[in-house]
Amino acid sequence: MTLEELAHKVNWLWNNCARDEQVVVTLDSASMGGRAFANVVDVSKGTDWEADQIRVGVDKLIIEKNKDRDVPMPKAKTSNGYVCRACGYFVRKDDKYCSTCGQNIEGIGK
């Protein structure tokens, strides 16, 4: 998307939506209810190697899917057992990795 395309969309939203609505970035994470998101906190022109880019800053770290799957993440205990917090699929109590997404869940829930 170019800055011109973004401006066109923002102008349309400015004219057709409530102006106090929160601007967020949708995340590809399991979430109950509405989709998971990060709040937009800044928009600025890139510098140096990023000089040809407009950068959007958010209030939490965003990484490419599966880039941190080796960092242990605790399982979520539900009434039906345990689920992987990374993908939301069921895992066994003693699993060290999620069989669906590969997330490290070692040592959690024992």
Domain ranges in the chain are: 3-58, 64-110
Longest dimension (CA), the chain: 54
SS3 101: coil
Picking from 100, 99, 107, the residue whose alpha carbon sits closest to that of residue 75 is 107
Pair 95, 105: CB distance under 8 Å: yes
- Among 10, 12, 35, 38, which Cα is nearest to 24's? 38
The pTM (predicted TM-score) of the whole model is 0.58
Q: pLDDT tens digits, residue range 39-75?
A: 999 999 999 999 999 999 999 988 777 667 778 888 8
What would the pLDDT profile of 7-44 be if each residue is shown by its tens digit? 999 999 999 999 999 999 998 877 778 888 999 999 99
